[in-house]
Amino acid sequence: MKNRSSAGIALILVAGLAACAPHMRTHGYVPIPEALARIEPGLDTRSSVQAKIGRPSASGAFDETGWYYVSTVVEHYTFYEPKVIDRTVIAVTFDENDVVEAVDRFGLQDGRLVDLTTRTTPTYGRQLTVIEQIVSNLGNVNAGDVFSDED
């Protein structure tokens, strides 16, 4: 009986420790360095890049001058917010003749934080108090606005 209870406690402890282990998830695709090394700026074209490393994750929003291969590794703990621990972006830029100009690699350290949830619009100039707004509008009443010919 003692062996069963010890085994049960050990099983509960192992399950508890396993629940605390992070779960890693990888999203996206970045070609391996050997495949990227085969791309030659000035020689390769859009079609040869596609044949060598495949279609990109994204392309330019307003023009087709760049292809982007993006991979992100996210760490999930049990009830904590997921955390991005690695991101790699490969940017392949093309000239107007669809010939490769450059192949650049960017990491998480190269990125910038963009706040997408700000609820205020910044305004420039002086902020007026309520009293200043009331006093400044006292002389701005137009008689045509108060009395109209339609009544």
Work out the average pLDDT over 10-27.
72
3-state secondary structure 76-139: ECCCCCCEEEEEEEEEEEECCCCEEEEEEEEEHHHCCCCCCCCCCCCCCCCCCCHHHHHHHHCC
- Mean pLDDT throughout 4-12? 71
Convert the pLDDT of each residue in 53-96 to its tens digit. Answer: 998 888 877 777 889 999 999 998 777 888 888 899 999 999 99
Over residues 39-49, the mean pLDDT reads: 93
pLDDT in tens, 95-151: 999 999 999 999 888 877 666 565 666 666 677 777 877 777 776 666 666 665 555
How much is the pLDDT for 136? 74
The pLDDT, as a whole number, for residue 49 is 93
Lowest-confidence segment of 10-19, 46-55, 72-81 by average pLDDT: 10-19
Instruction: Determine the pLDDT at residue 14.
Output: 66
Task: List 23's β-bridge partners, or say none.
Answer: 76
pLDDT value, residue 143: 60
Please report the pLDDT score of residue 16 as a whole number: 61
Buried b (16+ CB within 10 A) or exposed e, 122-134: eeeeeeeeeeeee
Indicate the DSSP class of residue 45. B
